[in-house]
């Protein structure tokens, strides 16, 4: 009698084949929320492009008080790189937070709300493997969403405004080739900084059967942290807030490049994400899944 049989498992059972990343990826791809979220990543740059076109047509209508907004629009329309950078800037404060919270917060809680979580575990899928596959796929879709947003903004911006040096407003114009590298670095840093949201949403997803609760809770706590970061009376305590270095990517646009805050922000984000993920593992491995 084989060791597996002695342990009560069916002959031929292999835990690593019970739930694969590929099957979970395809399963999540068929969900409407995935398609809508990725679709909006394509739609947002188009909406901004149309807004800029209408804005430029009506710019002579007595817009004397527009000041800073007019300057941002001028930079955004100076080339494809600028348009892509502006798109990342306006979406990083809320839209990307919601999308990442959606992908990571909905992953376990939705299974629990449908009543399918207990059936997945009864296949049986080891709990640690289920969490690992779910998190891997969720982070994969988060990355895909950011790449889709950046690629779409860069494509439509270049087609409309051309391929020109990057103008950040923080330093002299950056040549297009180097500007593209800087833009990719900014995108990478934003992805790292938003791991805080991914970790928190995933943790909440193991604590509740309500997907909206996990998603909304992660977004709410991120917003609260952002508000607290604006309160200068907190002094050095703000350095420990997960959103304190959320705009450290601006240092990647200066000449010379300033990476000190970006490095601190990356370490902070990875540390917070690791804590949240470890807590999720500990909680879920001990959870009594009965429904």
pLDDT on residue 15: 52
pLDDT on residue 64: 44
Residue 121 lies in domain:
19-51+70-285
pLDDT on residue 5: 41
pLDDT on residue 192: 95
In degrees, rounded to 5, the angle at the alpha carbon of residue 217 between the alpha carbons of residues 25 and 230 is 115
What is the tens place of the pLDDT at every residue in 127-145? 888 889 999 999 999 999 9
Asked whether residue 3 is domain-assigned, the answer is no
What is the tens place of the pLDDT at every residue in 82-128? 999 999 989 988 999 999 999 999 988 887 777 677 667 666 778 88
Asked whether residue 2 is domain-assigned, the answer is no
Residues of the chain with pLDDT under 50: 1-10, 12-13, 57-71, 291
Give the total number of structural domains in the chain: 1
HSE-CB of 51 using CA atoms within 13 angstroms? 14
pLDDT on residue 129: 87
pLDDT on residue 62: 45
First to last CA, the chain: 34
Asked whether residue 59 is domain-assigned, the answer is no
Instruction: Single out the residue of 122, 101, 111 nearest to residue 216, CA to CA.
Output: 101
> Could you tell me what percent of the chain has a pLDDT over 90?
57
Asked whether residue 65 is domain-assigned, the answer is no
At a CB cut-off of 8 Å and minimum separation 6, what does 20 contact?
A: 133
Asked whether residue 90 is domain-assigned, the answer is yes
Asked whether residue 80 is domain-assigned, the answer is yes
Instruction: Single out the residue of 250, 244, 215 nearest to residue 228, CA to CA.
Output: 244
Asked whether residue 14 is domain-assigned, the answer is no
pLDDT on residue 19: 76
Length of the chain counted residue by residue:
291
pLDDT on residue 190: 96
pLDDT on residue 256: 85
pLDDT on residue 273: 96
Buried b (16+ CB within 10 A) or exposed e, 203-221: bbbbbbbbbebbbbbbbeb
Asked whether residue 173 is domain-assigned, the answer is yes
């Amino acid at each position: 009698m084989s060791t597996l049989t002695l342990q009560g498992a069916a002959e031929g059972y292999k835990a690593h084949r019970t739930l694969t990343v590929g099957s979970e990826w395809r399963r999540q791809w068929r969900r409407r929320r995935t398609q809508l979220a990725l679709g909006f990543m394509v739609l947002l740059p188009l909406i901004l492009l149309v807004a800029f076109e209408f804005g430029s047509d009506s710019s002579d209508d007595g817009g004397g008080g527009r000041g800073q907004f007019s300057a941002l629009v001028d930079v955004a329309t100076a080339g494809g790189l600028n348009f892509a950078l502006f798109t990342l800037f306006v979406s990083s404060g809320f839209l990307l937070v919601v999308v990442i919270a959606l992908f990571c917060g909905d992953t376990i809680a939705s299974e629990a709300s449908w009543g399918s979580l207990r059936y997945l575990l009864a296949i049986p899928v080891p709990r640690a493997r289920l969490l690992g596959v779910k998190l891997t796929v969720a982070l994969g879709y988060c990355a895909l969403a950011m790449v889709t947003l950046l690629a779409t903004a860069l494509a439509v911006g270049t087609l409309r405004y051309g391929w020109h040096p990057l103008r950040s407003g923080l330093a002299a114009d950056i040549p297009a080739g180097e500007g593209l590298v800087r833009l990719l670095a900014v995108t990478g840093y934003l992805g790292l900084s938003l791991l805080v949201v991914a970790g928190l949403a995933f943790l909440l997803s193991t604590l509740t059967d309500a997907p909206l609760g996990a998603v909304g809770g992660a977004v709410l706590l991120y917003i609260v942290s952002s508000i607290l970061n604006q309160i200068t009376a907190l002094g050095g305590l703000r350095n420990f807030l997960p959103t304190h270095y959320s705009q450290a990517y601006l240092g990647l646009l200066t000449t010379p490049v300033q990476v000190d805050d970006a490095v601190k922000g990356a370490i902070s984000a990875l540390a917070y994400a690791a804590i949240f993920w470890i807590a999720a593992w500990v909680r879920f491995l001990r959870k009594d899944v009965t429904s």
